[in-house]
Structure 1
Amino acid sequence: MVNRSGFFRAALLFLLFFLATGSWSPVLAQDDATTHIELILDASGSMWAKLGGSTRIEVAKDALGKIIDDLSERKGIAVGLRVYGHRTNDCKDTKLEIPIGPMDEKKMKAFIGKIKPKGKTPIAYSLQEAAKDFKKDFTGSKVIILVTDGLESCGGDPCAAAKVLAEKGIVSKIHVVGFGMDKKSVSKLECIVKPSGGLLLEANSAAELAKAFDTIVKTALDTNLEVTGLDGKGKPVEMSVSVLQEGDEVLSEKGQTVKANLPEGSYLVRATATETGEEIFFEGVDLVEDKLTSLKAVFSIARIRVRALDSAGKPVRAEWQIFRKDAPEEPVVRFSGADWTEKALSPGEYTLKAHHRDTKVTLTADAAPGNGETAAVELVFAQGKLLISGLDSNGKPVYTDSYVYKAPFDRDNPDEAARDGGNKHEYSLVPGTYDILVRDHNTKVEQWIRDVVIEGGKTVRKEVSFAQGKLLISGLDSNGKPVYTDSYVYKAPFDRDNPDEAARDGGNKHEYSLVPGTYDILVRDHNTKVEQWIRDVVIEGGKTVRKEVSFSQGTVRLTVKGFEGKPVYFFTEIFLSPAEENDEFVHSDSGENEVSFPIVPGTYDVKVWTEEPRAELWEKGMEVKAGATAAKSFAFPAARVRITPPKKGTEWTYIFVDVFPHPAGEDDEAAVSEAGAEEHIQFFLVPGTYDFRIRDEEERETWMRGIELAADEKFAGEVKFED
């Protein structure tokens, strides 16, 4: 009996006719089975591994030769060969060496005989590529037989790849032979066969491999039931097929054609169209061994393809509803699409409505596709034109970049309709309201045009004036000579948290072309990093504003004395005051006794330090005036320490001296470390109390503790080690 769920009135009358005449059993036809098989062979480097008295690849070649002999004697099959890992050692090395077609026994054997393993194991990529090997016009079973001696080695996901092949009906079955692998590894291949219900077989010898091939081929070719899904024009239809016996489901498969080999008996077969859910039942299907029973499930399927266009012929997004002519109250289907979108329905007459959300325009059309037919519908939303040009102060075109957004513009989620660059911009837009940003391509100055209304068939022209004024900036030193500066121009008032920068430049002079407005300018001495602001500078179109920033300099002179007031080598860094922990210095220098250098006027914090003794001093808030010298002397009080090592014969013993603040703890780090083998080891320390640890190369150790040192004091110590 043929039973269709979800049918409308015409389908119900059709069903009642068959029930009335008693013709409810489907026509069963006998036909030759057609099976497409792709062998995928692992030719990775591991196939050279020994197996018995041979190698895995040689055993595989021998077994494949026998199965090729078997297949060549069968009718109604097509065979292809894909190999991976046989050309290069990379993860893209997979190739369909022999396309799926009539068996050419000699060609396939000859090619397999030449294979030399060398590469990786890209199983996932090979399965993905295999999808292209099965042509769309292939009918019947589509089978992959994968022979591998290892797991995926290229980071792919063969489980996911196999699932896609099965769910999309690209293949009917995927069978896998794990060759020369341990049971744990073979079990990891189960996810490849599971989506399609294929076989996973283990082979660890030539005999087991031949047996595995024989089992798979018999499963693939021994068929006594074939169900084919078709529409009213005889075109293939994707479907799912369930076979039941006494209420129990014994088979569930998907595809355009489903084949099976079932025990003799009587069955109920249910075919369900994937797109529409329509069901067709075949009751009392009697299957016998070695005899093919073919069932054709002819579904009532029509298709409607739709898209919306603008007046320039470009696709636009629309919200669609499809209504049956005889039931206009509720749509059969609702959907959204920006280009061609296809929906499967039962044959009949329909009304289509397309709504353009931005313009709030709704268009309608009719379609009446028959069984197996596709009706194509295009609806055109008329557009208006927007012309934009940018002009300078002389009315000449300016190269601009323009961006058109649906109004109101949302900075966090901008709905951009179009963009363009040039002296002029012409846009074709669907009716609606827009905000347009126009930016001078060279100066990056931006202007907005808000709430521009576009109507279908009409043209709107907008001119944006970029009439500019000039701003000239120069930095000068105390002699009136140019200073290299970096300048930054901001829209006034300057907001530190959200600065609106208009332009920036670096050099001895700066020339800016700016749109009229008020600006704040930051000018920074490139070397010293000293900054000066020029506030509220008014720029007018066609006029020039000149600004000079004085970076006239003063002089800093630093003098440093050490032990007994003698000159000492020192280092200095100058910071803008007040200096904070991570600030960068504006000047650094070093020298013995005295350094002098020019610097721009300002208030500074000065850091001075010496290596001997290790000490650091600061002078905070040192004021430097133009043309004047700011001088500062630093004194580093120090004591001199001389340690005399013991002698070994006529040689001085090499010793290591570590100095710790008193009292020294067990885990303290040395403040000063010295070493040598001279008459005495000399160093300088700031006044204080210290512990000295002295060691030699023989790991002998002695301490001098609680050594009090005053400024300019001279301490001498003689080292003695206990034997």
Structure 2
Amino acid sequence: MRMRTTALTVAVLLVMLCTLFGAVRPSPASAAPDTARDAPVLMVVDTSGSMGEKGNNGVQRLADAKRSVLSVSQALSDGVTFGVWTYPSGGSCSGGAFVDGVDMRPLDPALRTQMTADVLALRPNGDTPTAPALRAAVDELSKRHYAAATIILVSDGESTCGGDPCAAVKDIVASGLDLTVHTIGFELSGEGRDQLKCIADATGGGYHDAQHGGELIKTTSAITTRGLEVSVRAPAKVIGGGVAPMKVSVRNVSLTETATDVRVTLGFIEHSEMFRRIAPPVVRLGNLLPGKSAEHIWELPVATTENQVEAKYLFMAAS
């Protein structure tokens, strides 16, 4: 009995990544947000007295932090709910407050213009109450009925008052909020670095070092990068008349934005006659929160053939 095979060559796998992110529409004020589409991004910035000092590049640290805030607002898509929180407020050990006019609103060109003036007006003063800042910021998110959120925390020093910030964030996570905190130590080392790393680890985020303003901008740009990553598992060879299982996994590489209405398409670009029934050719995976993945498995009937042939296939993911 002759063995009939069709070669599926992984080496010639073609994958197209499409990074079209739809805008998030704001929910009515009276309704709780759809957290799958409207998980907000909140930038929490240390504006303590030490941020008024010159950094390694000779520029005031707070000036570089302001630039990083504005770069994040430009990188995020229109419609993403964004806020800026600074701490302390009034030069005290308080938990801080939203920057005027940047209190969790969907981004658009008008908001970015307003935000520029408000952010540039920030001044350094006070201690570094990181734990009270995280508690106060999360309280505001809860008041707005968010069940999930991403925070980007920038600080140049260890917490100096208000308790242990790592213990505070563990309490927040235990309360049920789906919170991810990405922390950036701005010219930071020692105890302060350990605190920020603990905060990130406790929430599934990442810790990043930035030794000068240029690295701070580079880091925030990396955190706000958007895209879809596709990985595929398929057999190298299948027998004619059999079934070819093809598994695709799609991951949202963004750490800040939800990929909405993710779709993945399978097609063959050589010897498609061997796989005449791709059902369905397009699969909807729904919304993918930042860093999350979804998968689908096709079980494809394989036609019979007298010869060994090589079939090349294409996966395309889009949002």
Tell me, yes or no, if the aligned pair for 1:224 and 1:288 is still in contact at 8 Å: no
Aligned partner of 1:102 in structure 2 is 106
Aligned partner of 2:50 in structure 1 is 46
1:91 equivalenced with 2:96 (yes/no)? no
Distance 1:143 1:259 in 2: 10
Aligned partner of 1:259 in structure 2 is 289
Q: Which of residues 69, 93, 96 in structure 2 aligns to 1:64? A: 69
Distance 2:89 2:144 in 1: 30
1:116 equivalenced with 2:134 (yes/no)? no
1:174 equivalenced with 2:176 (yes/no)? no
Aligned partner of 2:281 in structure 1 is none
Tell me, yes or no, if the aligned pair for 1:121 and 1:150 is still in contact at 8 Å: yes
Q: Which of residues 153, 157, 161 in structure 1 aligns to 2:160? A: 153
Distance 1:136 1:125, change over 3 A: closer
**SS of match in other structure, 1:131:** helix
**SS of match in other structure, 2:40:** strand
Deviation at 1:158, TM superposition (A): 0.7
Deviation at 1:222, TM superposition (A): 4.8
Within a 5 Å distance, the mapping from 1:182-197 to structure 2 comes to 182=189, 185-197=192-204
Within a 5 Å distance, the mapping from 1:395-406 to structure 2 comes to none
Aligned partner of 2:82 in structure 1 is 79
Distance 1:185 1:68 in 2: 26
Distance 1:114 1:191 in 2: 31
Distance 2:89 2:143 in 1: 28
Tell me, yes or no, if the aligned pair for 2:87 and 2:129 is still in contact at 8 Å: yes
Deviation at 1:221, TM superposition (A): 3.6
Distance 1:222 1:78 in 2: 10
The number of aligned residues is 211
Tell me, yes or no, if the aligned pair for 1:140 and 1:258 is still in contact at 8 Å: no
- CA offsets 1:651-687 (integer angstroms, 9 cap, x no match): xxxxxxxxxxxxxxxxxxxxxxxxxxxxxxxxxxxxx
Tell me, yes or no, if the aligned pair for 2:130 and 2:162 is still in contact at 8 Å: no
**SS of match in other structure, 1:132:** helix
Within a 5 Å distance, the mapping from 1:445-464 to structure 2 comes to none
Distance 1:212 1:261 in 2: 17
Query: What amino acid maps onto 1:170 in structure 2?
Result: L
Aligned partner of 2:255 in structure 1 is 220
Aligned partner of 2:311 in structure 1 is none
**SS of match in other structure, 1:143:** strand
Within a 5 Å distance, the mapping from 1:321-400 to structure 2 comes to none
Distance 2:45 2:72 in 1: 13
Aligned partner of 1:207 in structure 2 is 214
- Give the structure, 1 or 2, with the largest relative contact order (CA under 8 Å, sep 6 or more): 2
1:143 equivalenced with 2:143 (yes/no)? no
Tell me, yes or no, if the aligned pair for 1:263 and 1:288 is still in contact at 8 Å: no
**SS of match in other structure, 2:83:** strand
Deviation at 1:261, TM superposition (A): 3.6
Query: What amino acid maps onto 2:86 in structure 1?
Result: V
In structure 1, stretches of 5+ residues that fail to align are 1-29, 227-256, 268-286, 292-723
Deviation at 1:106, TM superposition (A): 2.0
Tell me, yes or no, if the aligned pair for 1:86 and 1:117 is still in contact at 8 Å: no
**SS of match in other structure, 2:188:** coil
Distance 1:121 1:258, change over 3 A: farther
- CA offsets 1:665-721 (integer angstroms, 9 cap, x no match): xxxxxxxxxxxxxxxxxxxxxxxxxxxxxxxxxxxxxxxxxxxxxxxxxxxxxxxxx
Query: What amino acid maps onto 1:85 in structure 2?
Result: P
Deviation at 1:66, TM superposition (A): 1.9
Tell me, yes or no, if the aligned pair for 2:46 and 2:86 is still in contact at 8 Å: yes
Distance 2:291 2:156 in 1: 29
Distance 1:265 1:146 in 2: 31
**SS of match in other structure, 1:142:** strand
Distance 1:39 1:171, change over 3 A: farther
Deviation at 1:137, TM superposition (A): 5.6
Tell me, yes or no, if the aligned pair for 1:167 and 1:195 is still in contact at 8 Å: no
Tell me, yes or no, if the aligned pair for 1:223 and 1:259 is still in contact at 8 Å: yes
**SS of match in other structure, 1:169:** coil
Q: Which of residues 38, 41, 53 in structure 2 aligns to 1:34? A: 38
Tell me, yes or no, if the aligned pair for 2:128 and 2:161 is still in contact at 8 Å: yes
Deviation at 1:170, TM superposition (A): 2.5
Distance 1:48 1:265, change over 3 A: same
Distance 2:294 2:255 in 1: 18
Tell me, yes or no, if the aligned pair for 1:40 and 1:144 is still in contact at 8 Å: yes
Tell me, yes or no, if the aligned pair for 2:288 and 2:294 is still in contact at 8 Å: no
Within a 5 Å distance, the mapping from 1:625-664 to structure 2 comes to none
Deviation at 1:155, TM superposition (A): 4.3
Tell me, yes or no, if the aligned pair for 2:185 and 2:193 is still in contact at 8 Å: yes
Deviation at 1:146, TM superposition (A): 0.9
Report % sequence identity: 27
Distance 1:35 1:56 in 2: 29
**SS of match in other structure, 2:81:** strand
Deviation at 1:57, TM superposition (A): 0.8
Within a 5 Å distance, the mapping from 1:156-555 to structure 2 comes to 156-182=163-189, 185-218=192-225, 219-224=254-259, 259-262=289-292, 265-266=295-296, 289-291=317-319
Distance 2:143 2:94 in 1: 24
Deviation at 1:140, TM superposition (A): 7.2
Deviation at 1:85, TM superposition (A): 2.9
**SS of match in other structure, 1:133:** helix
Deviation at 1:60, TM superposition (A): 1.1
Query: What amino acid maps onto 1:76 in structure 2?
Result: G
Distance 1:173 1:262 in 2: 12
Which protein is bigger by CA-based radius of gyration? 1
Q: Whose strand proportion is higher, 1 or 2?
A: 1
Tell me, yes or no, if the aligned pair for 1:124 and 1:152 is still in contact at 8 Å: yes
Q: Whose helix proportion is higher, 1 or 2?
A: 2
Distance 1:225 1:203 in 2: 31
Distance 2:173 2:59 in 1: 36
The TM-score normalised by the length of structure 2 is 0.58
- CA offsets 1:628-666 (integer angstroms, 9 cap, x no match): xxxxxxxxxxxxxxxxxxxxxxxxxxxxxxxxxxxxxxx
The TM-score normalised by the length of structure 1 is 0.27
Deviation at 1:212, TM superposition (A): 1.2
Distance 1:145 1:260 in 2: 13
Distance 1:168 1:93, change over 3 A: closer
Deviation at 1:188, TM superposition (A): 3.0
Distance 2:87 2:130 in 1: 8
1:132 equivalenced with 2:139 (yes/no)? yes
